[in-house]
Amino acid sequence: MSVDRRDMADELGKWEVQVRKGGLGLAVLAILWPGRLYGLEILRQLESQAGMSIPEGTIYPLLSRMKAEGLVDAEWVEADAGHPRKYYRLTDPGRARVREMTQSWRAFAQGLERLLAPIEGDIS
Amino acid sequence: MSVDRRDMADELGKWEVQVRKGGLGLAVLAILWPGRLYGLEILRQLESQAGMSIPEGTIYPLLSRMKAEGLVDAEWVEADAGHPRKYYRLTDPGRARVREMTQSWRAFAQGLERLLAPIEGDIS
DNA sequence: CATGATACCTCGGTAAGCAAGGTATGATGC
DNA sequence: GCATCATACCTTGCTTACCGAGGTATCATG
């Protein structure tokens, strides 16, 4: 009934999530470019290489979708120790897609950067 | 029951949508930076300045949310001719938010660009 | 054989894009 | 006057997708 004081605080914390939504799929495909990786390894490399911290609840459904689309394929590999790992690798259509998405991404980022240009003049 | 042949074709066309999802809110706030605009005008300027074509069904709910969060405020203005227009303008908290989001955006874009760097070596 | 570490996966709530369809205002043609 | 068109704003319903929480499986260790 009263004012939602909740909103203003929560929304601030949500922006980092919103920001990366669009590029997340590209980031995952891109990190597979050099070679195969297993699930948790993808998360760790996204964190260390690109500063993105993605939860498991996001990555596994995403990888499944990509596999269903034929962009990646997966292969179980026995580890020397511990739980077996499922390694993901880009397929040829996957590589083609990464290149397409990279172009789309850059077009978008450049368009947006054009809008942001006037803003940075304002260094308080 | 049979194979979804639908997917491979449709998903290709959907990427441009996915790509811009994360930055769309920022784009809308950024385009309001120089001054007030009304709804359809926002769409036209996003198209001409940043190459983004956003449908009405996306922009009006988005503007409503931003107004509810106090990032913009709105004002009805009688046009010389035709339907009255609802002009949106950044509030002070809205301006602060644009600056924050711009920083988040650039951090994300730089992180992603780091992942994309190896890819562009491959000009077939 | 219990505990911990590592790894993969799923369920359910929620957010958000957007196509389609609707409403409102004023100008223009007849 | 009235139908039609152009402009502009808004809503509904469908769908996609993030992700927190909780679950399962494998192996090592004490």
Residue B122 lies in a domain: no
Please state, in angstroms and rounded to a whole number, the distance separating the CA atoms of residues A75 and A91. Answer: 12
Please state, in angstroms and rounded to a whole number, the distance separating the CA atoms of residues A46 and A49. Answer: 5
Residue B52 lies in a domain: yes
| Helix, strand or coil, per DSSP, at residue A83 | coil
pLDDT of the residue at A3: 41
Q: What is the pLDDT of residues B55-100, one digit of tens each?
A: 999 999 999 999 999 999 999 998 777 899 999 999 999 999 999 9
Ramachandran area for residue A51 (φ above 0: left; ψ -120 to 50: alpha; else beta): left
Residue B110 lies in a domain: no
Mean confidence (pLDDT) of chain A: 86
pLDDT of the residue at A13: 52
Where in the sequence is the domain holding A36, given as residue range(s)? 18-118
Overall average pLDDT of the A45-57 stretch: 95
Residue A123 lies in a domain: no
Q: What is the pLDDT of residues A2-37, one digit of tens each?
A: 344 444 444 545 677 778 888 999 999 999 999 999
Which pair of structure tokens corresponds to residue A77?
A: 């590999």
Residue B25 lies in a domain: yes
Identify residue A71 by its one-letter amino acid code.
L
Nucleotide nearest to B55 (CA to C1'): C18
Handedness of CA B34, B18, B52, B37 (dihedral sign): negative
Residue B8 lies in a domain: no
Residue B10 lies in a domain: no
Residue in A20, A33, A116 nearest the CB of B102: A116
The separation, in Å, between residue A57 CA and nucleotide C13 C1' comes to 13
Nucleotide nearest to B41 (CA to C1'): D8
Q: What is the pLDDT of residues B18-68, one digit of tens each?
A: 778 889 999 999 999 999 999 999 999 999 999 999 999 999 999 999 999
B70 at the A interface (CB within 8 A)?
A: yes
Decide: B17 and A21 in contact? Cβ < 8 Å: no
> Looking at the predicted structure, is the pLDDT value of residue B4 above 80?
no
Q: What is the pLDDT of residues A73-120, one digit of tens each?
A: 999 998 777 899 999 999 999 999 999 999 999 999 999 999 999 997
> Looking at the predicted structure, is the pLDDT value of residue B123 above 70?
no
Chain A residues close to B14, C-beta within 8 Å: none
A/B interface, count of CB pairs below 8 Å: 128
Residue A12 lies in a domain: no
Q: Residue A50: which CATH number?
A: 1.10.10.10
Query: Total structural domains in chain A?
Result: 1
Which pair of structure tokens corresponds to residue A95?
A: 């590589």
Q: List the single residue in A with minimal CA-CA distance to B99.
A: A119
